[in-house]
Amino acid sequence: MYVSVDCVLFGYDKELSIFLIRRTNPYFKNKWSLPGSIIFEDESLESAAERTIYELLGLSGVKMKQVQAFGDPGRTFNKPRILTVAYLCLLDRSKHNLEVKVKNRTFISQTNEEEIILEGRWFPAIQISNLPQDHSEIARFSLNFLKESFKGGSTGLALLPDKFQIKELQKLYESIFCTNYDPSNFRKKMIKEHQLVEWKNDTIQGRGKKTKFYSLPRIPSKSI
């Protein structure tokens, strides 16, 4: 039996999206799938997830959190059994042109064979289905994991720039929870719930009204 990691990378740009890749790995037959990798014997799960994100997508310093292990005996069909551990990864899409970055990216797999990332693409997170193996299940579970994280902390705010407007935060919430919020009540609740810090000298003047920017009280660490 082998152990692998699968990285569920969410980004936000007007809607919540998930990043999928097509690769020359025979396990996936060029189908859209989650970025993943078998772990090496001398590395931890988190190190394997960080390596996978770097090797396959060229990213480093991505905020991530372990979600859950998936080990159904039939998840890899007739191939050697692989237990996988999913990692939730959050990315501010405004900082990365990821689709261009990964196209035709090459790396050496654990079998010392050259693999190619044929392409990568953002897809609406709520529409994911028909992915190979159990990747659809992993993606849906990770989306629910992300939703739950909003109720107990500020994890999901890593999807936004370091400084953001309340209306941007509201649109993020509405995209994830598929509901509408009253702007006034939402603003009060978010400032209190996340202890948001207002940037006094960083406003936009427009139509006689200032647009305020906020941030978390401290920069979140790499692990979320």
pLDDT over threshold 90, residue 215: no
Q: Is the pTM of this model over 0.75?
A: yes
Cα(184)–Cα(105) distance, rounded to whole angstroms?
46
Residue 195: pLDDT band (50, 70, 90) is confident
Cα(30)–Cα(90) distance, rounded to whole angstroms?
24
pLDDT over threshold 90, residue 199: no
Closest CA to 125 of 175, 159, 163: 175
If you average pLDDT over residues 17-33, what whole number do you get?
88
If you average pLDDT over residues 24-29, what whole number do you get?
80
Q: What is the pLDDT of residues 99-155, one digit of tens each?
A: 998 999 998 776 677 889 999 999 999 888 889 889 999 999 999 999 988 876 778
Residue 162: partners with Cβ closer than 8 Å, 6 or more residues away: 215, 219
Q: Which CATH architecture has domain 2-151?
A: Alpha-Beta Complex (3.90)
In percent, how much of the chain has pLDDT > 70? Answer: 91
Q: In the prediction, which pLDDT does 220 show?
A: 44
Average pLDDT over all residues of the chain: 86
Q: What is the pLDDT of residues 154-181, one digit of tens each?
A: 788 889 888 889 999 999 999 988 899 9
Q: In the prediction, which pLDDT does 205 show?
A: 56
Q: In the prediction, which pLDDT does 1 show?
A: 85
If you average pLDDT over residues 36-51, what whole number do you get?
93
As annotated, the residues of the chain forming the CATH 3.90.79.10 domain(s) are 2-151
Q: What is the pLDDT of residues 48-103, one digit of tens each?
A: 999 999 999 999 988 899 999 999 888 877 678 889 999 999 988 888 889 998 99
Q: Which amino acid is at 122?
A: W
pLDDT over threshold 70, residue 201: no
Residue 182: CA atoms inside 13 Å, Cβ hemisphere, count? Answer: 4
Residue 186: pLDDT band (50, 70, 90) is very high
Q: Give the DSSP letter string of 88-135.
A: EEEE-GGG--HHHHHTTEEEE-TTS-EEEEEEEEEEEGGG----STTH
What's the count of helices (H) and strands (E) in the chain, helices before strands?
5, 11
